[in-house]
Amino acid sequence: MEGQLAEFLGGSALELGASHGALGHGHWRYGKDEDGIGWLVLDREDASVNTISDTVLRELDAHLDRIEFNLPRVLVLRSSKARGFAMGADIDALAEMEAEATETLLTEAHRVLDRLEGLSCPTVAVVHGAALGAGFELTLACDYRIAIEGASFGLPEVRLGLHPGLGGTRRLPELIEPTAAMQMMLTGSTAHTKKARDLGIADLVVQERHVRAAVAAIRDGEVEQRGRGLMARAFALSSARTLAATRMRRETEKAAPSKHYPAPHALIDIWEKHGNDPDAMQKAEIASFAQLLQTETSGNLIRAFFLRRTLKNAGGARDDIARVHVVGAGAMGAEIAAWAAMQGKHVTVSDPDEEALGGMIRRAAEICKDEHKDALETRDTLDRLMPDPGEYGVAQADLVIEAGPEKPELKAEIFEGLARRMKPGAILATNTSSLQLADFLEHVPDKARFAGLHFFNPVPKVPLIEVVSHDATGAETRERLLSFCTAIDRLPVAVTDYPGFLVNRALMPYLLEALLMMDEGIAKERIDKAAKEFGMPMGPVTLADQVGLDICLDVAESLSKSLQTGIAEIPALLREKVEAGDLGRKTGRGFYDWSDGTPKPDTSESTGEDLTDRLILPLLNACATCLREGVVGTADEADAAMIFATGFAPFRGGPLHYAGTRGHDAIRARLDEFAAAHGPRFKPDAYWRDVKPT
Amino acid sequence: MNGREVFLVDGARTPFLRARGKRGPFTPVDLAVQCGRPLLARQPVAPDAYDMVILGCVNVIADEMNPARVAALRLGMGEAMVAFSVQINCGSGMQSIDTAFRYIREGRGDLILAGGTEALSHAPMILRDEAVDWLAGMQRSSGPLATAQSALQIRPSHLRPVIGLERGLTDPITDLSMGQTAEVLAHHFGITRQAADAYAIESHRRLAAAQEDGTLADEVLPAFDREGNVYRRDDGVRPESNMKKLAGLKPVFEKPYGQVTAGNASQVTDGACWCILASAEAVETHNLRPLARIVDSDWAALDPQVMGLGPVLSVTPLLQRQKLGAEDIDLWEINEAFAAQVLACLKAWQDEAFCRDVLGLDAPLGVIPRDRLNVHGGAIALGHPVGTSGNRIVLHLARAMAKRGGKRGIATECIGGGQGGAMLLEVA
């Protein structure tokens, strides 16, 4: 809705019953209707979303005193925040806690939830938006859950190296089919409205306008509980659980090896051992949670969570870019355009090749499918995405993104062609990955409104965008671009105009070292295995194939041209592949055969000499150089960029954090050893000597 | 003529895509969005600055009731955009322009998007009445016995679907198919099979030439489907066609002696077209560049059996009112429903008795030279998406006038059910 009508009708107000206008302070408000419905509403002070903290639970405890004393006929729990029920535990508070304090706190928290569960009146959680983690666990202590259309439920604790800690490990397998419950907790996946109803998490799905009637129906005993399934009984037998647990362990090991990710394995252990004994389960959950919270994995995954938040917040809320024009419908241009359109931007795309524009539409339809967009969302996305061979969109665009081939003359020509047609105030950004912005300044219409927006391939899977400023890029331009990135649900990091910017500058020495090892006769499978054991999502040789060997060569050449030191000679192997036209995934063959999808190299043989440091340290060293030279603002941003662009083992907290854990002196000594053995490309950066880890 | 001046400032259409025996890639509104998006994007006016949207469409599909409004919203023209659909069969696309013209002339709007769209390949398969009754009976009957008895009443013939398109192209009053109405005219006006075939060949030749020399560049904009296919040009054109090939075709509507064949009739096709109409104030405010001025329009009705004479009956009073003769018109677009039908119109205007007795003229209106008529081909080569064609001929007339010079032009069409529509343009 727009304008006055929207203002008058006020979107959709939440039904808050008698709590509306109820007095009181703190995070909760409570009021009881004449018809016997008690409304207990969570509305965290000084926050736009709800999280569950220890104060929230203590105040809930105090409200339960009053509620028990004057029992309503039915108690409703809900949030008054527009954005949803609750996002989970207060992670900032959690991150600081010692093991013993954690146990004490959790035991107390469990007592409060048990008390809620034990109320003698029916209790109903009304959920709009997301109920995640501790928020979901709070609803699990209620007798009924009403989902408002669009609601979602999930226990994503494994992503923080934890498992549920507020009774979720016990209550969810009691409520729904136990293996489905375990699946949700092991993968941290979210059940959206329909799935939540099918699973038995939600007893009713209603529109907001019918909440009061639905609650009254529960009060009057007209609604049956959907969960409380009989399946739980099948797993009361420990032999049945052992059978299921064995399968779960096998699956989990593939996605999250226990060596690096202990939490899901701990969860399976608890369930297998105590699945038929709620009290023992509760105790084990508390102890295990407290223990996991102290692990390095959890500490680093929580760190990654904070880093994500930091990047997200780097872009302010003031996004003023509504119309985007993309020049070039190649693989990157097409995905950038499709993604932006899916996130609500009006996007036009030009390309001299109309077939490429057609391919872009097909790709956009695929992305909508992969992102689970429904028929209407897909239609609207495709309606917002206009192939524009006539380049009509240029004159209206707030932002023009150039995603043409990596040929300097061609880019210069494109920039000059745009100059006369872009509207005043519009930003011109290039998606170049191997060229420097400074080389184009005389060709662009407005230096202050020229910057880099470096997306990564594939755009829907890699959340990071480098926002690149050259010396004359205006601060306002940078801010607007950061906000734009946040608005299209990507993570921006501000970097300067440096060869390879940050991510490719740091990644390339790692990839080149891998290729040099291959040149030396080391099997590519062994190299990839070493990196995967370190925790990389894929090995460097596979990654080079995925990025595209032509692009690797472009970036490597541009780096070796512009940097005096620190970069390996480009291995002949790479040139040969590119000359032969074997460019990796996109041509079906690179170092690996991609004709049947992502290769799964056989990595069963033992690795022999440890290759890990020789691969990883060049990457760390390059990050140090970038930080020292001011390419990126802080070590945290560098770590975040490498985690969210390359998947750098998140449980290690990022390259510089990892270096800090090992000690800068140790890193320097190891680099010196490699320099002596393999050459000056390993020369330790001055950073290791000058900066102490924090 | 009283009222404010009205200009046609721009317009664009999709390529016209032949129906190939299965549903085409686009629904009626999809087609309208495909050409509407780039058309709106190249205007110096925001999409929500229009006063209203009017869209002609004959075969509306169930998911797109009032296609004008669905299209306006999908085109991002804002929730406050008034939009309605119009339907006068083959004249719907011109009806939308005429309605917009009248709104602006009266001062009730300054900027209106008026179009036509049709996806004949999406015309529904219809259940026979017997089958509908049977289904209703099944739903009404209660108890297993009654249901079983109801179920037994179905006959295989009930389930043979009716092709909606076939019924749509048949006049409900006379039960003559449109092709048969052309046979009637050919008979009355002595149009030979050879003359009709020769006319058809020329239509293909002209369209092919226009496609080659870039005449249609700003008018026909490429369409893109979800599978990534790109549609660049009208795909029904057959420049290689010749008299021998056409002579080999069998009559479609009146076998074996009829003369209307698939070769000398318009093609069954999907396509959409939009025109932007503006007042003089809007032209000035938004710095628009008019292609043409809309001067006047007229509609006429006659016996459905001879609906093909619609152009003659609608154009003549328009010319009389404007005190113009045939020679004053520099360019003509007569929609080519059938070659024989166009030729019958031309003959009627040259026939002294017809002009005197039917049109009330002192002398025949005269000859419309072939080099002023459908100069870039017509529906025989392009196809005839019924709700769209009237819009296309007005847009193309305006563009052809702007390109070739010449002061006045007329676009006119015959309308199934026995009507005709005509519109007079002048260079702006």
pLDDT in tens, A570-590: 898 999 999 999 999 888 999
Can you give the pLDDT at residue A96?
A: 85
Most confident of A249-258, A588-597, A610-619, B330-339: B330-339
Question: Which chain B residues have a beta carbon less than 8 Å from that of A347?
Answer: none
The 3-state secondary structure of A488-546, one letter per residue: CCCEEEEEECCCCCCHHHHHHHHHHHHHHHHHCCCCHHHHHHHHHHHCCCCCHHHHHHH
Evaluate whether A310 touches A123 at the Cβ level (below 8 Å): no
The structural architecture, per CATH, of the domain A503-690 is Orthogonal Bundle (1.10)
* Those residues with Cβ within 8 angstroms of residue A71's Cβ, 6 or more apart along the chain or in another chain: A119, A120, A121
Smallest Cβ–Cβ distance between B222 and the set A354, A359, A363 belongs to A354
What confidence category does residue A564 fall into, taking pLDDT thresholds of 50, 70 and 90? low
The alpha carbon torsion through A449, A451, A457, A459 (nearest 10 deg) reads -30
**pLDDT(A229) > 60:** no
Smallest Cβ–Cβ distance between B42 and the set A346, A365, A390 belongs to A390
User: Pick from A491, A323, A558, A288: which is nearest to A423 by CA?
Assistant: A323
Interatomic CA distance for residues B302 and B344, integer angstroms: 15
Burial of A240 per CB tally in 10 Å (0-12, 13-18, 19+): middle
Flag whether B165 is in a domain: no
Query: 3-state class of B53 per DSSP?
Result: strand
How many other CB atoms sit within 10 Å of the CB of residue B126?
A: 16
Greatest Cα pair distance, chain A, in angstroms, is: 83
**pLDDT(A603) > 80:** no
Question: Which chain A residues have a beta carbon less than 8 Å from that of B38?
Answer: 386, 388, 390, 392
Model confidence pLDDT, tens digit, residues A359-413? 999 999 999 999 999 999 999 999 999 999 999 999 999 999 999 999 999 999 9
The domain over range A3-302 is classified in CATH as 3.40.30.10: no
Can you give the pLDDT at residue A43?
A: 94
Can you give the pLDDT at residue B244?
A: 95
Residues 394-413 of A with CB under 8 A from B: 396
Question: Which chain A residues have a beta carbon less than 8 Å from that of B228?
Answer: 355, 358-363
A2 shares contact with chain B (CB less than 8 Å): yes
Evaluate whether B105 touches B146 at the Cβ level (below 8 Å): no
User: Pick from B305, B307, B200: which is nearest to B261 by CA?
Assistant: B200
> Does A393 contact B41 at a Cβ distance shorter than 8 Å?
yes
Residues 216-235 of B with CB under 8 A from A: 221-222, 224-230, 232
Evaluate whether A550 touches A434 at the Cβ level (below 8 Å): no
The sign of the CA dihedral A426, A432, A438, A440 is negative
Interatomic CA distance for residues A295 and A303, integer angstroms: 12
Residues of A recognised as catalytic: 433, 454, 466, 504
Query: 3-state class of A451 per DSSP?
Result: strand
What confidence category does residue A602 fall into, taking pLDDT thresholds of 50, 70 and 90? low
Model confidence pLDDT, tens digit, residues B267-284? 999 999 999 999 999 999
Task: Choose, out of A9, A360, A386, A398, the residue to mutate when testing the contact with B (most B CBs < 10 Å).
Answer: A386
**pLDDT(A566) > 70:** no
> Does B229 contact A358 at a Cβ distance shorter than 8 Å?
yes
What confidence category does residue B127 fall into, taking pLDDT thresholds of 50, 70 and 90? confident
**Residue in the block written with tokens 């170092």:** A591
How many other CB atoms sit within 10 Å of the CB of residue A600?
A: 9
A346 shares contact with chain B (CB less than 8 Å): yes
Can you give the pLDDT at residue A226?
A: 79
How many other CB atoms sit within 10 Å of the CB of residue B338?
A: 31
Model confidence pLDDT, tens digit, residues A13-44? 888 888 877 777 799 999 999 889 999 999 99
Can you give the pLDDT at residue B159?
A: 73
Model confidence pLDDT, tens digit, residues A40-55? 999 999 899 999 999 9
Flag whether B323 is in a domain: yes
Flag whether B400 is in a domain: yes
> Does A387 contact B33 at a Cβ distance shorter than 8 Å?
no
Tell me which long-range contacts A290-295 makes (C-beta under 8 A, separation of at least 24). A290/A99, A290/A100, A290/A102, A290/A103, A290/A106, A291/A99, A291/A266, A292/A161, A292/A162, A292/A163, A292/A262, A292/A263, A292/A266, A293/A94, A293/A97, A293/A99, A293/A102, A293/A162, A294/A98, A294/A99, A295/A161, A295/A262
Smallest Cβ–Cβ distance between A361 and the set B78, B221, B228 belongs to B228
Numbers of helices and strands, H then E, in chain B: 15, 14
Smallest Cβ–Cβ distance between B74 and the set A3, A383, A387 belongs to A383
Q: Which residue in chain B is spatially nearest to A363 when comparing CA positions?
A: B228
The 3-state secondary structure of A368-385, one letter per residue: HHHCCCCHHHHHHHHHHE
Mean pLDDT within A204-226: 93
The full DSSP string for B201-237 is: HHHHHHHHHHHHHTTTTTTB--EE-TTS-EE-S-TT-
Q: Which residue in chain A is spatially nearest to B218 when comparing CA positions?
A: A390
Interatomic CA distance for residues A683 and A674, integer angstroms: 8
User: Pick from A153, A132, A148, A119: which is nearest to A40 by CA?
Assistant: A119
Mean pLDDT within A176-193: 94
Higher pLDDT: A488 or B3? It is: A488
Nearest-10 crossing angle of helices A612-628, A655-662 = 110
**pLDDT(A347) > 80:** yes
What confidence category does residue A680 fall into, taking pLDDT thresholds of 50, 70 and 90? very high
Chain pair A-B, CB pairs under 8 angstroms = 55
CA gyration radius, chain B: 22
Question: Which chain A residues have a beta carbon less than 8 Å from that of B225?
Answer: 358, 361
Interatomic CA distance for residues B352 and B363, integer angstroms: 6
A338 shares contact with chain B (CB less than 8 Å): no
B140 shares contact with chain A (CB less than 8 Å): no
* Domain membership of residue B390 as a residue range: 178-216+295-427
**pLDDT(B199) > 80:** yes
State how far Cα A599 lies from the chain centre: 24
Residue B338's domain is classified under what CATH number?
3.40.47.10
Q: Which residue in chain A is spatially nearest to B230 when comparing CA positions?
A: A358
Smallest Cβ–Cβ distance between A387 and the set B78, B80, B224 belongs to B224
What confidence category does residue A610 fall into, taking pLDDT thresholds of 50, 70 and 90? confident
A325 shares contact with chain B (CB less than 8 Å): no
Mean pLDDT within A492-496: 97
Domain regions of chain A by residue span: 3-302, 326-496, 503-690
A387 shares contact with chain B (CB less than 8 Å): yes
Number of domains making up chain B: 1
Task: Choose, out of B37, B63, B229, the residue to mutate when testing the contact with A (most A CBs < 10 Å).
Answer: B37
**pLDDT(A609) > 70:** no
> Does B226 contact A388 at a Cβ distance shorter than 8 Å?
no
Smallest Cβ–Cβ distance between A358 and the set B74, B76, B224 belongs to B224
Evaluate whether A582 touches A589 at the Cβ level (below 8 Å): yes
Predicted complex ipTM = 0.92
Q: Which residue in chain A is spatially nearest to B29 when comparing CA positions?
A: A383
Interatomic CA distance for residues A264 and A258, integer angstroms: 8
> Does A388 contact B38 at a Cβ distance shorter than 8 Å?
yes
Pairing of strands A450-455, A464-469: antiparallel
Query: 3-state class of A350 per DSSP?
Result: strand
* Amino acid identity for residue A121 in this structure: C
> Does B80 contact A3 at a Cβ distance shorter than 8 Å?
yes
> Does A388 contact B224 at a Cβ distance shorter than 8 Å?
no
Can you give the pLDDT at residue B154?
A: 77
Q: In what order do the strands lie in the sheet with A144-148?
A: A28-32, A37-42, A74-79, A123-127, A144-148, A204-206
Domain covering A326-496 in this structure, CATH number: 3.40.50.720
Model confidence pLDDT, tens digit, residues A84-101? 999 999 898 888 888 899
User: Pick from A577, A580, A582: which is nearest to A595 by CA?
Assistant: A582
Flag whether B52 is in a domain: no
Model confidence pLDDT, tens digit, residues B357-385? 999 999 999 999 999 999 999 999 999 99
Evaluate whether A308 touches A644 at the Cβ level (below 8 Å): yes
Smallest Cβ–Cβ distance between B38 and the set A363, A365, A392 belongs to A392
A381 shares contact with chain B (CB less than 8 Å): no
Phi-psi region of B287 (alpha: psi -120 to 50; beta: other; left: phi over 0): left
Can you give the pLDDT at residue A461?
A: 94
B128 shares contact with chain A (CB less than 8 Å): no
What confidence category does residue A230 fall into, taking pLDDT thresholds of 50, 70 and 90? low
Interatomic CA distance for residues A418 and A391, integer angstroms: 10
Residues of B recognised as catalytic: 90, 384, 414
Question: Which chain B residues have a beta carbon less than 8 Å from that of A365?
Answer: 226
* Amino acid identity for residue A90 in this structure: D
Smallest Cβ–Cβ distance between A392 and the set B42, B76, B227 belongs to B42
* Those residues with Cβ within 8 angstroms of residue B355's Cβ, 6 or more apart along the chain or in another chain: B348, B349, B361, B363, B364, B365
Q: For residue A84, what are the β-bridge partners?
A: A129, A130
Question: Which chain A residues have a beta carbon less than 8 Å from that of B37?
Answer: 383, 386
Flag whether B397 is in a domain: yes
Q: For residue A492, what are the β-bridge partners?
A: A465
Residues 351-390 of B with CB under 8 A from A: none
Shortest Cα distance, chain A CAs vs residue B119, angstroms: 18
Whether the bond into A650 is cis, omega within 30 of 0: no
**Residue in the block written with tokens 């994007």:** B41
Can you give the pLDDT at residue B6?
A: 98
Evaluate whether A39 touches A31 at the Cβ level (below 8 Å): yes
Question: Which chain B residues have a beta carbon less than 8 Å from that of A358?
Answer: 224-225, 228-230
Burial of A168 per CB tally in 10 Å (0-12, 13-18, 19+): buried
Mean pLDDT within A641-659: 96
Can you give the pLDDT at residue B166?
A: 80
Can you give the pLDDT at residue B230?
A: 98
